[in-house]
Structure 1
Amino acid sequence: MATNQKKHEPPKELFVPHERKEDTSERITKPSRSFFQDARRTFFKNKSAVLSIILMIIIIIMSIFAPHFNEYGMDEQDLSRAKMPPKIPVIEDLPFFGMNGTLASEFKGDDVEEATKNAVMRYNNDEDFIDIEVLSEGDGSADSAEVAATYHIYEAKEMQDEYFWLGTDQLGRDQWTRIWLGTRVSLIIAFAAAAIDLLIGVAYGGISGYYGGRVDNVLQRILEILIGIPNLVVIFLLLIVLQPGIISIVLALTITGWTGMARIVRGEVLKQKNEEYVLAARTLGQSNGKIIRKHLMPNVAGIIIINTMFTIPNAIFFEAFLSFIGLGIVPPEASLGALVDSGFKVLRLYPYMVFYPAVLISVIMIAFNLIGDGLRDAFDPKMHK
């Protein structure tokens, strides 16, 4: 029996002594990240938000340095070069860019001769510098003939060697310089208004939400009164009393603009002030001011940043709106809204004067909204992976 048992035993070399190792089932294999590190990681995964930040950095840099790219000043007027279309070196010969320094439009008449006459009259009777292309010879009825006219205005004014990259306005001022200076003014107003909203709204909402009780009741009744007053009425009255300018616009935007921030911060503080970390800070004897600054504000920083990013495009829109209706920046100063207003008056004849500032306003507002969307997702714990 013993011999048979040994025959069925496996060889001893198949057995390897087991070495006891440290239990790795609970080991954290990745470094721990804070909430803000997770938020940053999630934000940079949002390609549209990152692209918007890069675009806004470029626009801000251009608003600082681009006015110095040529020799024309913002207030440099010359009626001899008024309403010149855009003309850019190198690409002026590429037809699909539309930067060749010509004015083009279509004209109608009872016959080709009358349509051509209308084109010549429209372009200062400089017939030698107008190219006419017949689109329709007409059938004898009213305005049945149509021609396309191209006016070589740079040649007509003997300015072939000059270049106005975005054209000039009615007074001969360079649009490139004025658009970027106007962008600078609009951004200054927007950032200043957002910063004041941030300071007042966060302080007001934080105090109201943290102290609660009678303090909250009094502060909220004041806030409800301010919210009940139409925003535009307050802005109009203030701009009528004050001289139009950057300071008056910033004050007008911040008189009632901070109320939204205050209500959001109050709501967040009301949710956070009964959390355990706040109770622990009170138990340790920290002052109310320190609890608000050191504990509550960092925990509501996400919603504050997001709301601020949405405040900036709103401020840009309000500034453009006020300038468009004549209550904003006063000429010769420029802002994007003032440039749109100036170009809108001659939209049908010189569309480039309103096109570029309008596109820039749209790009800035879309970029800030995309950045705000990215920040909102970044500060949402559900989006962290």
Structure 2
Amino acid sequence: MNTGVIDKSLELKLDDSMFELVPKEQKKLNEIVRPSMSYWQDVWRRLKKNKLAMFGLIVVILMTVIAIFGPMFSKYNYFANDFTIANQRPSLEHWFGTDQFGRDIFVRVLYGARISLIVGYAAAFISFVIGTLYGSISGYAGGLADNIMMRIVDILMSIPMMIYVILLMVVIGAGLKSIIIALAITQWLGMARIVRGQIIQLKNQEFVLAAKTLGASRNRILLKHLVPNSMGPIIVTLTLAVPSAIFTEAFLSFIGLGVSAPKASWGTLVSEAQQLYMIYPYQLFFPAIAICITILAFNLLGDGLRDALDPKMRR
């Protein structure tokens, strides 16, 4: 058989009548409607669609910025007494009025925001670090080690937080440090339980088995695979831990176990104002509304993050 000769009957005859132009509408069907994005980019996209969550995020950022820089730009300070202007009502000179010692309430509310947010952020960060490490180790180890570690958590959770505060006040004295440590001691326990539950769900999945097959160490599996895949619930819990710490600090300061004078937190401002709230209600109103707005903003942000981080809600 001569392979160099092409059979004419096998030649493909093409002409223009055999083709047709594809309409523009048909081309658009093959286009990628949504560009490819990572998990965290998609989380941010969905979070931006939640108006209440974005409102909470904006309020949290504004509160933080104002607490840091606000007192620096005021001609009044939080501790100077001037009895000649005591108990003045809100005016252009003193936006929130003055207290019984003639101190500007607006500046004291701003300074109180600084103290309260420091407590909230510090306690949440410490509980995040300790709770994530403890819970991840407990969940990944399993067996007897997990049982012992969780029983320790149960014992610590059975002790009221007030006991921790009183003991710390005896050892290191009352103040900001003792409150932060007491809150951190109690808040990391809940974080540890949440992280442990997530690790138990993830540790037998395929990507963990693949990492073990490739020879990854336990530390690498925990820090590079399991903990990052548990960040959704961890971030939501962390967001909701901040308002809880702020409210707890306000309560402790209200009953006299918080920061000492002349320093001010929102709780101490409420405690001082409640003595004269029937005569000067504005002294109680402003710090109380600051607590409510901040806690509401963090709760709205936490709810929005919970929805945005839920893979089942991806569209």
Q: Is the 8 A contact 1:206 1:262 kept in 2?
A: yes
Q: Is the 8 A contact 2:236 2:306 kept in 1?
A: yes
> 2-side partners of 1:169 and 1:176: how far apart?
10
Deviations 1:82-130 (A, max 9, x none): 1111102xxxxxxxxxxxxxxxxxxxxxxxxxxxxxxxxxxxxxxxxxx
Structural RMSD (CA): 1.9
Give the 3-state SS of the residue equivalent to 1:87 in structure 2: coil
Pick one of 265, 268, 283 that aligns with 1:335: 265
> 2-side partners of 1:352 and 1:185: how far apart?
21
Identity among equivalent positions (%) equals 47
Count of residue correspondences: 296
Structure 1 stretches of 4+ moved >6 Å: 24-27
> 1-side partners of 2:138 and 2:31: how far apart?
44
Deviations 1:13-48 (A, max 9, x none): xx9213799xx9988554322222221111110001
Q: Is the 8 A contact 1:67 1:176 kept in 2?
A: no
Corresponding position: 1:82 with 2:83 = no
Q: In the TM superposition, what are the counterparts of 1:315-334 in structure 2 within 5 Å?
A: 315-334=245-264
Pick one of 116, 119, 127 that aligns with 1:189: 119
> 1-side partners of 2:258 and 2:34: how far apart?
54
Q: Which residue does 2:142 correspond to in 1? A: 212
Q: Is the 8 A contact 1:167 1:174 kept in 2?
A: yes
Q: Which residue does 1:373 correspond to in 2? A: 303
> 2-side partners of 1:320 and 1:369: how far apart?
17
Q: Which residue does 1:67 correspond to in 2? A: 71
Deviations 1:179-233 (A, max 9, x none): 1011001000110000000000000000000111122122111111111212233
Higher relative contact order (CA 8 A, sep 6+): 2
Deviation at 1:334, TM superposition (A): 0.5
Q: Which residue does 2:46 correspond to in 1? A: 42
Deviations 1:336-366 (A, max 9, x none): 1100111111100111111000000000000
Query: Structure 1 residues 41-50 or 239-248, which shifts more?
Result: 239-248
Paired residue type of 2:49: K
Deviation at 1:242, TM superposition (A): 2.9
> 2-side partners of 1:165 and 1:27: how far apart?
57
Paired residue type of 2:46: T
Higher strand share: 1
Q: In the TM superposition, what are the counterparts of 1:1-385 in structure 2 within 5 Å?
A: 16-18=17-19, 30-88=34-92, 163-385=93-315
Give the 3-state SS of the residue equivalent to 1:347 in structure 2: coil
Q: Which runs of 5+ in 2 are unaligned?
A: 1-15
> 1-side partners of 2:34 and 2:98: how far apart?
59
> 1-side partners of 2:73 and 2:37: how far apart?
45
Deviations 1:293-349 (A, max 9, x none): 100111000110000000000000000000000000111000011001111111001
> 2-side partners of 1:27 and 1:289: how far apart?
43
Q: Of the two, which has the highest radius of gyration?
A: 1
Give the 3-state SS of the residue equivalent to 1:257 in structure 2: helix
How high is the TM-score relative to the length of structure 2? 0.89
Q: Which residue does 1:160 correspond to in 2? A: none
> 1-side partners of 2:276 and 2:166: how far apart?
26
> 2-side partners of 1:26 and 1:283: how far apart?
39
> 1-side partners of 2:313 and 2:191: how far apart?
24
